[in-house]
Amino acid sequence: MSPTDPLRPHTSEGPLLEVTALQKSFGTNRVLSSIDLHIDSGQVVALVGPSGSGKTTVLRCLNGLETPDGGTVAFRGGPSVDFGARVTKKEALALRDRSAMVFQNYNLFPHRTVLENIIEGPVQVQKRPRKDAVADAERLLERVGLAAKRDDYPFNLSGGQQQRVGIVRALALQPDLLLFDEPTSALDPELVGEVLTVIKELAEEKWTMVIVTHELAFAREVADEVVFMDGGVVVEHGHPDQVLRNPREERTRRFVQRLLNPF
């Protein structure tokens, strides 16, 4: 495919996203204390940690589903948003438009067919010609093995198929950053593989991705960097082999042990 293929990531070198001192509380509950993240273009970052550690909140802050109380989120090429100051609606929307989220529960639109789910954003929001959006959607569906399902409603699909549609819906927006919020947690075990395979292929194509996951084996295989969070802070981050096999921090070691030997 040509280098200008809209369905391929906009590859470039260097940093894509810089998150500094991100903070978020819900009432008196401090969920994120001070999170720093650095993500390069084409990099796959796995966010791991116990539930309640704040990893999903980080993801949601990046996509504007939560508004941080402080800290900055800066994309190369803009916007650079300082949540310590007043954030304009325009800035918040510009930030939202750089990324697209894949949800744990897929959140497909049940009243629209697979194809309609995918072209909804490109056509209704990005105002792209319907013909182009449909052509792109069909190619993306082909790629994840769901071309035959284009006119089905989501309720006719298995969980794994729905999640693959969820991924395609995010891809169709042509975002610079893909966010995955525990993309396989709602799936029956035998359906996890088909979703992880798709994500792995995206990694090979050099999409920039942040993945919140409990699948440590998958994180080790796909991620360029693993970030371990606990209690609203980044405890440790680095190469997957280092963080997941030879953790420096006691908390990381305990977490990895627990996931490897649950009983």
Partner 1 sequence: MDWELARTSFWPMVSGSVVGTIPLSLASFAIGLALALVVALLRISGQPVLAGIARFYVSVIRGTPLLVQLFVIFYGLPSIGLTIDPWPSAIIAFSLNVGGYAAEILRAAILSVPKGQWEACHTIGMSRAVALRRVILPQAARVSVPPLSNTFISLVKDTSLASVILVTELFREAQQIAAFSQEFMLVYVEAAAIYWVICLVLSSGQSALEKRLDRYVAH
Binding interface with partner 1 (CB under 8 A) = 63-65, 96-97, 100-101, 103, 105, 107-112, 120-121, 124-126, 153-155, 169-170, 173
Beta bridge partners of 212: 47, 181
With contact defined as beta carbons under 8 Å apart, do 201 and 123 qualify? no
Please state the closest distance from residue 170 (CB atom) to partner 1, in A.
Answer: 7
Helix residue ranges per DSSP H, the chain: 55-62, 89-96, 114-120, 130-143, 159-171, 189-204, 216-222, 240-245, 250-260
Beta bridge partners of 237: 227
Structure tokens belonging to residue 90: 């325009």
With contact defined as beta carbons under 8 Å apart, do 183 and 106 qualify? no
Cβ-in-10-Å burial (0-12, 13-18, 19+) of 260 comes to: exposed
Give the phi and the psi of residue 74 in degrees, each rounded to 5. -125, 120
With contact defined as beta carbons under 8 Å apart, do 101 and 115 qualify? no
Structure tokens belonging to residue 225: 């960097």
Residue 23 CB contacts under 8 Å (≥ 6 apart), including other chains: 30, 32, 33, 34, 35, 68, 69, 70, 71, 83
Sheet holding 70-75, edge to edge: 29-40, 15-26, 70-75, 80-82
**CA distance between the termini of the chain:** 48
Round to whole Å and give the CA distance between 168 and 120.
Answer: 12
Please state the closest distance from residue 205 (CB atom) to partner 1, in A.
Answer: 21
